[in-house]
Chains A and B, each alone.
Chain A
Amino acid sequence: MATVTLNIDGQKVAVELGTTILEAAQLAGINIPTLCYLKDLNVVGACRVCLVEVKGARNLQASCVTPAGEGMEVTTNSPAVRNARRAVLELILSDHPYECLTCIRSTNCELQALAEAFGIRRVRYEGERLQKPLDQSSPSIVRNAEKCVLCRRCAAVCEKVQNVQAIAPQNRGFGTVIAPAFEAGLAAADCVLCGQCTLVCPTGALHEKDDIQKVWDLLSDPAKHVVVQTAPATRVSVGEGMGMPPGSIVTGRLVAALRRLGFDRVFDTDFTADLTIMEEGYELIDRIKTGGVLPMITSCSPGWIKYIEHFYPEFLAHLSTCKSPQQMFGALAKTYYAEKAGIDPADIYVVSIMPCTAKKFEAGRAEMGSSGYPDVDVVLTTRELCRMFKEAGLDFAELPEEEYDAPMGITTGAGLIFGATGGVMEAALRTAYEVITGEPLASLDLEAVRGMEGIKEATVQVGDLPVKVAVAHTLGNARKVMELIRSGQAGYHFVEIMCCPGGCIGGGGQPIPTDLEIRQQRIKAIYTGDAAMTLRKSHENPAVQALYAEFLGHPLGEKSHHLLHTHYVERRRNRDL
C-alpha cells in the first residue's frame, strides 16, 4: 500500500494513501473534535467542527473528509482553527433549545461536551429556531427535531446498517428535519424501532421512550406483585451505565440492585431463553421430519420481526412460531408462576429489563396476551434502568452479588449466549445435537457462529443430516440472507437473525456509547460468563425440565402452543393505494 507523509502540528506522520487528516491526526495522538462523523458510516463533512488549517488552502478543511496528501502541512490547533470551531458551535447552539438541565442526554451529550470543551459561555445569535412538534407516536422511540443538529448519523445507520431508511432528511435549508416520509410519526413509518439511531444520536433528538414512572408506580403499590426479568445482554452492559468499564459482568450486582428497588421477585429471561431452545429446537426437528417450511428463522428479535413483516411478508412462514424469551417469560409468569406461588395473575406485573427499544413495541403487540393478561407490562431499556438505580441512590459497584430467585431465575450458559450474535444458533445446536444423536457435542464452543462477521455460515453433521445454518446480525445482513433464500440458492435449515449489530449486546436500548469496540467487549463478557456456568445446555436446565413435568407437558404441546407460540402480520411497506 502506498503511503503519504504529511506534517501535522509539526509532527511528521506517515499514513496509507486514502487516510483522512482526522485519522492521520489520531495516529499522531491528536484528537480532532467531531460531531457528525461516525467512522465508516457517516463521513459527510456536514457539521464543520473538525476543521483544520491546510497550508495553501483558502479556507479551513473538514479533516474527516479531507484525504491526507503528500507533504501536506496541517495545523489542528491555531487561533484560526479554534475561532472557527467556536464560531460554528455557537451557530449550531443558536438553533438548539437551551434545555440541557432537563434533557435526557444531559452529561452524556456530544454537543454539550463540545460546548464545554470550547468554553462557549454565551450564544450571541438571536432569532428564529426550528419549531417542530415532539414525535411520541411510537411506543419505543421519541423524536425531538428541535434538538437535532442534522448530523445525519441516524439516517446513515438506518440506511447503511439496517437498510430500513425509515428516516431521511426532509425539506431544505434551515427547515431541514430528519423524519419519516411526509413528516409523519415514527409509528406510521416503516421503522422497526430498533433504536440504533438513538445510540448514534449525539444529542437528545432521538431517544428511548421513558417508562420509568410506570415502574415506580407499580413498585410503590403494595397490592401489586411485581416481578422483573433481565435479558441476557443487560448483565454485561448495566455496569457501563453505572460507571464501570465496558465488558464488566455484573450479574449478581444487577440482581441485588433490582431487589433494592423493590421488585418482589428477580427472575431471568435466560430461563425462557433456555425454554425457547426447547420449543424452537423441537419445532426445527419437526419441520425437518415433516417437510415443513425451511429454512426456519429465529423469532427472538422484535426489530427483526417487524422488519420481515414490513419488507419480506411473503416469508413469514419461515419464522419460528416461538414467542421471544421476553414474551414467553411473561406468559409463564402469569400462569405457571402464578399457580405455583398462589398469586392471582391479575395482581402480577411483569417488568422487563431489555437492551432493546423494539421490545417495548413487542410487549404491546395484540398477540401477546394469550394468558388473558398482557405477557409483559412494562419494558425498560438498560439506559432507563441505570437512571432508576441512580435515582434510588444505589452505590452499584459496592453492592453484594446476589442470586436470582427460583424457579424462573435458574438458567444455563446456553440461555446467556442469546445476548450475542450467533448465540441462539449455538445454544440450539448444543441441544439439538444431543437430543437427536443422543451423544454430547465434542466441543460446546461453536466458534464458527461467533463474532462480528456480518453473515456466518456453518454445517454441522447431526446424525445422518448435515445441518446447514446461517447467522446474520443487522438488518442489512438480514436482507442479504433473505435475498439468498429467495433465490433458492441458500440451502439452509436454520437461520438466526438478530436486528442489531453484535446481537442484543449492541441493542438500541444499551448504554451510550455503544461502538464496535464496546460491542466486542460485551460479547467477550457473554462468552466468559457462559464458560463459567456449570450448566451450558438448555435441556439440562432443571427448572425447565420441571416446567415441562409440572405444567407444559412436552415441547410443542397444547399449552406451549397456546402460551408460547404466536403468529405474525403482514405490514405493507407502501400503503395500499
Chain B
Amino acid sequence: MQLQRAHVLVCHGTNCALHAPQALVDAFRRALRETRLEPEVRVVETGCFGLCEQGPTVVVYPEGTLYCRVSPADVGEIVSEHLLKGRPVGRLLYRDPAAVKTVQTFPEARYFQKQVRVVLRNCGVIDPSSIEEYIARGGYLSLGKVLTTMEPAGVVQAVTDSGLRGRGGAGFPTGLKWRFAARAAGEPKYVVCNADEGEPGTFKDRLILEGDPHAILEAMAICGYATGAHRGFIYIRGEYRLSITMLENAIKSAKELGLLGKNILGTGFDFDVEVRLGSGAYVCGEETALFESLEGGRGEPRVKPPYPTDRGLWGRPTVINNVETLASIPHIIEKGPAWFRSLGTPGTPGTKVFTLCGNIVNTGLIEVPMGITLREVIYEIGGGIPGGRRFKLAQTGGTSGGCVTEELLDLPMDYDTMAKAGTALGSGALLIIDDSHCIVDVARSFAKFFMHESCGKCAPCREGTRRLYHIIDGIAGGRGSPRDLELLELLSRTLYMTPLCPLGQTAPLPIMTTLRYFRPEYEAHFGSGVCPAGVCAEPGGSTKEARAW
C-alpha cells in the first residue's frame, strides 16, 4: 500500500448530497490525474461533517483545511493551488460568522471548538463504505474485547456503570434495559436498532448511519452478546436511502470478514443483522408501534406493560435502542465507563448529538457534552441568528418537545433539567425561531404534524389532535376568542394525561409552552386584532392552512 501525502474528504451526507457531490469527486479525480498527483492524493467520500448549511464541504488533510460551498468549477483551483503549491484557496475557506478573518482549518472554527466527537468521531473522517477504514480507527476492537475477555454480565455492568441513557428521547438507562432483557425468560431474544427517526428537526441518526454504519453493527453485536440475542433488526425510515445503502453494504462486508454471522471471530458467538424499512409513519418511532410494524402490521402502539424487554418483537424479550445510543457503546467498551462518565453531567453522562435548524447561521450536526447551555450552542457553535433578527424561541427535542425563551437559554441541557423546565431534551433537535415569526402560526404547524401522525387507535389523540389544530387555525384566522384559549388549555391537559402512547401525550407540550410564554400574542389575534408578526391572514379571512391534509 502506498502512503499518500494528502487526503481530500468530500462530504457525501444527504444534506450535501443534494449538491451532487459525485460530480465533485469526479472533478477531483480528473484534476489529480491531469496534474499527475493521483498516486499521492486520495479522494475519500465521507459521511456528514456537520456543517450542512455550508455544504458541500471538502476537507484537505493533513492540514485539515475546510472548504465550503465547493462546486466542481472550484476543484481545479484547489488542486493547482492547494495540493500542488501548498497555498489554501482563500475565497473558499470557512468564514466564521463571529470572527473577522477566515478560518484556515476546521479545528480553528468556533463551530468545532466546543464539540466533543464521540458518536460522530468517524463521521466526515472515514469512507463509510470501507470496513477497513472503520477497523483502522479502532473499529470492531470493542466487539473483539467483549467476545474474548468479558462475560455477558460484565458487559451489562460496564454499560450500566457508564450511566448511558437512551438518546432516542426518553432517557431511559441503557444498562438497566440490557439487564432486564438479559434476565428475561424466553427465546429467541432480539436486538432492535430504532432508526425510525421522524421527529421534525432531527437528522442525527440519518447522518450517523451514513457516516459510520459499522459502529451500529458493532454495538448491536455487543448488545446481542450481553443479552443473549442472536438476531438483530435495524428498522429505518424508508426515505433514508443513503443510510440504507450504507447499512446494507456494511452488513455485507462485516459478514465477509466474519464480524457478523456465525462464529464471530472464532468465539462461537453468532449474530446476524437485517435491515427493515419503515413506510411512512412517525408513530413507528414508538418502540411497540415499531414492533407491530416490523411484524408486518399497522404501526399502532401496544399497551405497556408488558415492556419490550419482557415481551417485545414477536412477543420475545427485546432490547430496542436508538442509533445514537448504540453508537456510544463501542467507545464505552473501549475506553471504559469512567471515561464516559467524565463527559457530560452526573445525571446524564456522555455527549449528545444535536441537530441545529431554523433561523441559525450554522445549521447542521454537532456533538457536545451533556450540560452545555443552549446559549453556547446557538451563539458560539451555531453562529447566532442570521439576518440581524432577534432570537424569539427555541424548540428543543423536536416537535414533541417544548419551547424555551430567552430567559431559559442558560439552562444546562440534560434530560432532567430540561424536563423540569417544562420542555424536553428529546431527540436533540434544536429549532431556532427568530422574531419574524408568529407564535400562533408556528404552533399551528406543530399541531398539524400531530394531527397528521396520530395513529387513530386511542380516542383522545385521534380526536384531540384534530381539535387542537382546528382551534389554533381558528385563532390564526382571526376567529379566536378567550374561550378558545380555555379550551386549548383543557385540551392540552387532556392530551397530556390520557392518551395511550407518547405521541398523544407529548402533542400538547409545544402548545402549552407557547401558550405559557406568548399568551398576549395569541390574544392579539382575537376579534378585530391583528397578527403582531404580520404572518397570519386578515382576521376572518381564510388562511392558507385551511387546505390539504
Contacts and interface: CB of A to CB of B under 8 A. Distances in A.
- Contact flag (A, B; Cβ within 8 A): yes
A519 B328 CA distance: 59
A150 B500 contact: no
Contact of A173 (B303, B454, B496): B454
A67 interface: yes
Contacts of A94: 463, 467
Interface in B454-469: 454-460, 462-467
A175 interface: yes
A174 B456 CA distance: 6
Given A45-B500, A60-B497, A91 B467 contact: yes
Contact of B498 (A60, A125, A171): A60
Interface in B265-316: 281, 298, 303, 305
Interface stretch (A46-54, A239-247, A281-289, A340-348): A46-54
B456 A169 contact: yes
Contacts of B462: 150, 173-174, 176
B459 A48 contact: yes
A174 B470 CA distance: 13
B458 A91 contact: no
A128 B546 CA distance: 12
A31 to B, nearest CB: 20
Contact of B460 (A67, A91, A128): A91
Given A48-B498, A84-B498, A128 B451 contact: no
A516 interface: no
A169 B298 contact: yes
Contacts of A38: none
B498 A59 contact: yes
B542 interface: no
B487 interface: yes
A155 B451 CA distance: 24
Interface in B166-203: none
Contacts of B483: 124
A88 B498 contact: yes
B463 A174 contact: yes
B452 interface: yes
Contacts, number: 100
Given A88-B494, A128-B466, A173 B459 contact: no
B490 interface: yes
Among B463, B467, B487, residue most surrounded by chain A Cβ atoms (within 10 Å): B463
Contacts of A172: 281, 298, 454-456
A312 B491 CA distance: 50
B538 interface: no
A446 interface: no
Interface in B483-515: 483, 487, 490-491, 493-494, 496-500, 505
A30 interface: no
B453 interface: yes
Interface string A64-105: 010100000000000010001001100110110000000000
Secondary structure dominating the interface of B: helix
Contact of B458 (A45, A60, A95, A124): A45
Nearest to B483: A124
A45 B301 CA distance: 11
A87 B498 contact: yes
A207 to B, nearest CB: 21
A62 B303 contact: yes
A127 B466 contact: yes
A252 to B, nearest CB: 46
A65 B457 CA distance: 14
Interface in A399-449: none
Secondary structure dominating the interface of A: loop
A17 to B, nearest CB: 13
A88 B460 contact: yes
B contact residues, range: 20 to 34
A49 B500 CA distance: 11
A173 B455 CA distance: 4
A40 interface: no
A552 interface: no
A91 B456 CA distance: 13
Contacts of B464: 91
Among A44, A45, A67, A92, residue most surrounded by chain B Cβ atoms (within 10 Å): A45
A88 B459 contact: yes
A46 B501 CA distance: 10
A126 interface: yes
A45 B457 CA distance: 9
A84 B497 contact: yes
Contact of B456 (A92, A127, A150): A150
A149 interface: yes
A150 B459 contact: yes
Nearest to A49: B459
Contacts of B487: 124-125
A65 B302 CA distance: 10
Contact of A44 (B303, B454, B455, B499): B303
Contacts of B457: 44, 46, 150
Interface string A486-516: 0000000000000000000000000000000
A80 B505 CA distance: 16
A65 B501 CA distance: 13
Contacts of A174: 451, 454, 456, 462-463, 465-466
A48 B458 contact: yes
A92 B459 contact: yes
Interface string B106-142: 0000000000000000000000000000000000000
B463 A91 contact: yes
27 contacts: A46-B457, A51-B498, A59-B498, A80-B497, A84-B498, A87-B491, A87-B494, A87-B498, A88-B498, A91-B460, A91-B467, A92-B463, A94-B463, A95-B466, A125-B463, A125-B470, A127-B466, A128-B466, A150-B459, A169-B456, A172-B454, A172-B455, A174-B451, A174-B454, A174-B463, A175-B456, A176-B456
The 7 closest A-B pairs by CB, nearest first: A127-B470, A176-B456, A91-B463, A87-B494, A173-B456, A65-B303, A173-B454
Given A48-B499, A125-B467, A128-B470, 15 more contacts: A44-B457, A46-B500, A51-B498, A59-B505, A67-B305, A84-B498, A87-B498, A91-B464, A95-B463, A95-B466, A125-B487, A127-B467, A149-B459, A171-B456, A173-B456
